[in-house]
Structure 1
Amino acid sequence: MKTRQRYLSLALALGASLGLFAPGAMAEEKSSTKVIPAQKVAEMMIRQDLFSNQRVIRDISLDLALEEKAVLYMNFERQPLNTALLNLLPTFGSASYQQGDYVGGVSMTILDIIGWSSLAFSWFSGGYGSSGFLSAGLFSLGLGRLVGITSPFMHAGLYNTKLKESLALDGHYSTKLQSETLLSANWTF
């Protein structure tokens, strides 16, 4: 119970630092009980970083109604199809970066740089060994497109699962998260 109170006070402090209070509301808070809506605090914490604030969001979401949780989930759910289609263009993974998938974005950037530089070297050398650079460049660009199509779906699946778990929409209404139960397992060899 103490950890829940600590997380709620942390969330309220975060809400105050992010400007959820009006100017002078701190003075009013002492005289009257001005409460920040829990949905607003959860929204700010999801925007800040879902993965690092997962416990606090979970504690806050236990106090939310099912409709409020559903609205938060619909607002922050990741849709990977647009990102995958934009990654088909030679944009060096910028659509993955915009989605928040930095692993896919960096992979696409590296593969695009290798592919385009191999194609350029093949084009400008024109002599012996240019077919090897041409095939390496085309292979690298093709592999980059494959990563660009699959990576947004994997990232969105992970993100949406963590969002459901954080908002207590996964059917498990305990305060323990899935990663905590995995870490507390007794492993014997």
Structure 2
Amino acid sequence: MTLSSSDPFVVLGLSFGAPLDDIRAARRRLARDAHPDRGGSEEAMKALNAAFDSAIAHATGRRVLVDPGTRGAATGSRRSTAPAAPAAPTARAAQREQPRSAGRFRVSHDHPSFTIDALPAEAYEALLIVCSWIGEVLVDEPPYLLDVHLSDPSECWCRLELVPDAGSSTVSITVAAVDRGPCPDVEVVRDLWVSHLNQLGRWDGD
């Protein structure tokens, strides 16, 4: 694992532009050695997570990276690596985003968004079931964080963050546009999750 590289795919031991399944598998494999509890270090784990976030952002179109090999060939200069993209937007970062054209936001955040009447472990399982209906899991860090590529109401990246709250779980949502498309209304995305959770009988309201 080349932790010093600025190319996230090099850090993950993958070819540039590797698919989502390969990115997730590489992170799981490398985390076994990088995690502090398994002989690694906090620095190694942070570097791995940063590379993973950047590679996922590229694979989903949220932040397109330049293939270092292509760029070097086009300019005739010495091969260099593309700078790593920022990690997926956090709640605080999302609140600082400015509106783009037509009054639309590329990133939108709803904090807190809704409550599930269950502790995080059970609530997380309910969210995974709903995710299987409406999208694809990108990052799963049970029971507190879930990144999803949604296809409905429009294609977007969605992060769900769970916080325990007196026997229940409060869920916050961040959504971001994919591949330069419009960012869906975060309230519409919230209502989509709530509607499907109601079908499971596990949503307690906001």
TM range (shorter): under 0.3
Higher relative contact order (CA 8 A, sep 6+): 1
Q: Determine which structure has the larger strand proportion and give its number.
A: 2
Q: Determine which structure has the larger helix proportion and give its number.
A: 1
- TM-score w.r.t. the length of structure 1 is 0.27
- TM-score w.r.t. the length of structure 2 is 0.25
